Amino acid sequence: MKDKPKLNINQWAEEDRPREKMMSKGADALSDAELLAILIGSGNTEESAVELMRRILASCSNNLNEMAKWSVRDYSNFKGFGPAKSITIMAALELGKRRKLQESRERSQISCSTDVYDLFHPLMCDLPQEEFWILLLNQANKVINRVRISSGGIDGTYADTRTILREALIQRATGLILIHNHPSGNPQPSGEDKRLTNHIHQAAQTMNIRLSDHVIICDGKFYSFADEGEII
């Protein structure tokens, strides 16, 4: 039996075309699969672009955040998905991440741990390794800058207290928040996380810099030392 020829979007019935549906009803009317199908343009010999994207989404629990962690190799497991289509989807998801990050940057004042999570989640949610950042604040808790201190391997990263305090002094920060991610998805602090927090807290106090919090970022959840009463 010969494979039936695949149809590109232009060959579909008009009512089934995501592009026409978007033009007539707006982007909100389209499902995630339909929006992604517009990007790839065609499916394979067995599936339309929409059907293919539905199957791909189902394989990652219909979670775009999970899909954003995929590489070209992950997409290549699906028939009809070569590097060009894979990179198109990856670029679109990266733009969505950058848009979210840009929106977060507009929040110039930190009032709670959720503000810290919202600011750093777009940066850290897809990282395969740990990174350690600091958020520098002025007296009114307005953001002066955020600085990446280190990036580690799978087993963790390293934060140098002198580097952290030097950045705070150079940028005339009076407040400081520590941030790092746990790629494992478990936000609970390790013993080393707690020791490091206490060490930096004591060192910052000698420089008259307040350590307001240490937030551990995971995808969809976080741990705040301040919220748990571990920073006074």
* High-pLDDT (> 70) share of the chain, %: 88
Q: What is the pLDDT of residues 19-42, one digit of tens each?
A: 888 888 888 888 999 999 999 988
- CB within 8 A of 224, min separation 6: which ones? 113, 116, 213, 214, 215
Per-residue pLDDT of 172-181, as tens digits, reads 999 999 999 9
Specify the pLDDT at position 154: 43
What's the CATH code, domain 107-224? Answer: 3.40.140.10
Taking Cα atoms as reference points, which of 115, 138, 151, 130 lies closest to residue 227?
Answer: 115
Stated pTM of the model? 0.62
Q: What is the mean pLDDT of residues 70-91?
A: 92
DSSP type of residue 5: P
**Is the distance from CB of 115 to CB of 106 less than 8 angstroms?**
no
Q: Residue 224 in contact with residue 215, Cβ under 8 Å?
A: yes
Q: In whole angstroms, how far apart are CA 72 and each of 4, 29, 41, 86, 168?
A: 27, 29, 17, 6, 39
Write the pLDDT tens digit of every residue in 119-130. Answer: 999 888 888 889
